[in-house]
Structure 1
Amino acid sequence: MSNGPLPSVRCLLSNLPSMHVGDKVRFLGCVTEYSTHSAILTLQHEFPRGNKTIVNADVTLLLQNLNSEQTDIGQWVHVIGYITSIKQLSVKNIMGPNPAIVGAQILVLWTAEDLDIPSYEKALNPEPD
């Protein structure tokens, strides 16, 4: 039996709203915004099509080692962290599920170099046989 930290749950960004506050997660997201004032990195991944989940990722714990490449708009990043809030927005949406805003405290972040996004999506969301 280990006294170490709990492992993270690997999931798609679109699955984060179904998790619980306090869950440790690992996911992939595309940087859509970064606020140097609040140290919040905004991440999205429109998969499945129509998913509008937004993650406000608090990177305060990483500021000493965070580089500009990791915060560039359009950069894909892997993150491990804890969910701090989940807010389902009630918006009339004929294109799919209501959008959600998920807050996360990020512990580890690294760029997703040479990543095959469709293979990643399929691996985490395999189509039924």
Structure 2
Amino acid sequence: MAHGPVPSRLTLLASLPSFDWGTKVRFLGCVTSYSAAAGRLVLEHDCPKSCQVKAWVDVRLLLEKLTFEHTAVGQWVNVIGYITLKPQASRKHAQDGLDRSTVDVQALMLWSAGPLDIERYETCLSR
């Protein structure tokens, strides 16, 4: 019998809609917006190139440790968290007016990706 926390599943952000509610995931995304009032980051990663998935990441549990490098638009961050709602087929986003698939994630950990070879990351996870 195993004891301790359930391991996270490393995945591309585009694959998040395929996971069930309650699945613990780890993924990389680029910050496209941050709402301090809602305690939510919106992350995207266009891999594959036609990816229309956004991750709405609840960061309220991490507010004391978040810095500008975690919330600035254009920053790449790693997230470990749980899928909290069944993925939505689409939500209209006021930012761009497009319907996109969205997944809600409760973040347990979040850290800056730092220097990153994004192509290598995508290649490793796309296999």
The normalised TM-score by structure 2 is 0.90
Alignment of 1:1-129 (within 5 A): 1-85=1-85, 86-89=87-90, 99-126=100-127
Unpaired runs of 5+ in structure 1? Answer: 92-97
Report the CA distance between 1:90 and its aligned residue.
8.7
Report the CA distance between 1:99 and its aligned residue.
3.3
Contact 1:81 1:104 in 2 (8 A): yes
CA distance in 2 between partners of 1:7 and 1:112 (Å): 20
The normalised TM-score by structure 1 is 0.89
Deviations 1:85-127, CA, capped at 9 Å, x for gaps: 2101299xxxxxx83110000000000111100000000002x
- When the two chains are superposed, the root-mean-square deviation of aligned CA atoms in Å is 1.5
Match in the other structure for 1:95: none
Unpaired runs of 5+ in structure 2? Answer: 93-98
CA distance in 2 between partners of 1:29 and 1:69 (Å): 13
Report the CA distance between 1:68 and its aligned residue.
1.2
- Paired residues, what number? 120
Match in the other structure for 2:96: none
SS at 1:89's partner residue? strand
- Which portions of structure 1, spanning 4 or more consecutive aligned residues, are displaced by more than 2 angstroms? none
CA distance in 2 between partners of 1:104 and 1:121 (Å): 21
